[in-house]
Amino acid sequence: MRPASDPAAEIGGGVLARASAVVYWLLVVEVLLVLTTAPALAAVVLLAGGAGNAPLIGLCFVPVAPALSAAVFAWRVFRTDRDLAPARHFWRGYRLNWLDVLRWWLPTLAVLTLIGFTLANLDAAGVPTGYGPLLALVALGVLLWAAQALVLSSTLSLRTRDLVRLAAHYLGARPKAALGTLSLLVAAAGVVALTSDWVLVLLASPCTFALLRNADPVLRDATRRFTA
């Protein structure tokens, strides 16, 4: 029998109880992700359709990374010390990490916005033929790095300059994790292309869990080598 103080005692040992706990976590984390990003997402919908709105759309994505970071933090707790308080863990992760996340997310978002604006206005920007795919590849590389940085900054206490280097380092040092992240990005793009971007929003909770799970080798190595 589990001690009463054990958080996992809230869930119970049965298969149905554990499955219900997983569904509960998925739903609560999803609701919190939607709540913390809703104003930005609504603004994106209003601004979509105009190529000149790319800078404003980029600004709308500022709250997205802190929200995703809070979800990753909560899922890390779920995997190590499971209980029935996902909201508490989400808000704790948000409070602890939002500033650290913004320190790297704002310049990253500026780069992605610049690339997006250029791609949306290739003719007017005077970009030579063939540079469009190259810029798209650069944007993909930045997104892969950002996904790595998101997991690291959500789960470990690192200085920003160390985080920047480590996120880049692990793209090469753990290629399987990088390929897994690439698969998630391709799947996300496929969901948007085949359905709607709102479907991707509604899948944000399991996507953040998958991102954390994919980063296990990176987190184990970083924890062993770079934290006390």
Stretch (H or E) spanning 90: helix 86-120
Q: How large is the C-alpha radius of gyration of the chain?
A: 19
Q: Give Cα 177 distance to the centre of its chain.
A: 14
Digit-coded pLDDT (tens) for 29-79: 999 999 999 888 888 877 766 666 778 888 889 999 999 999 999 999 999
pTM of the model: 0.90
Q: What is the residue whose two structure tokens read 């359709």?
A: 49
Please classify residue 126 by burial: count the beta carbons closer than 10 Å to its beta carbon, then call 0-12 exposed, 13-18 middle and 19+ buried.
exposed
Q: How many CA atoms lie within 13 A of 201 on its CB side?
A: 18
Q: What is the residue whose two structure tokens read 């996904």?
A: 147
* Beta carbons of 127 and 116 less than 8 angstroms apart: no
> Residue 192: is its pLDDT beyond 60?
yes
HEC profile for 8-21?
Answer: HHHCCCCHHHHHHH
| Separation CA 93–CA 37 (nearest Å) | 15
Digit-coded pLDDT (tens) for 141-165: 999 999 999 999 999 989 999 999 9
Digit-coded pLDDT (tens) for 91-117: 999 999 999 999 999 999 999 999 988
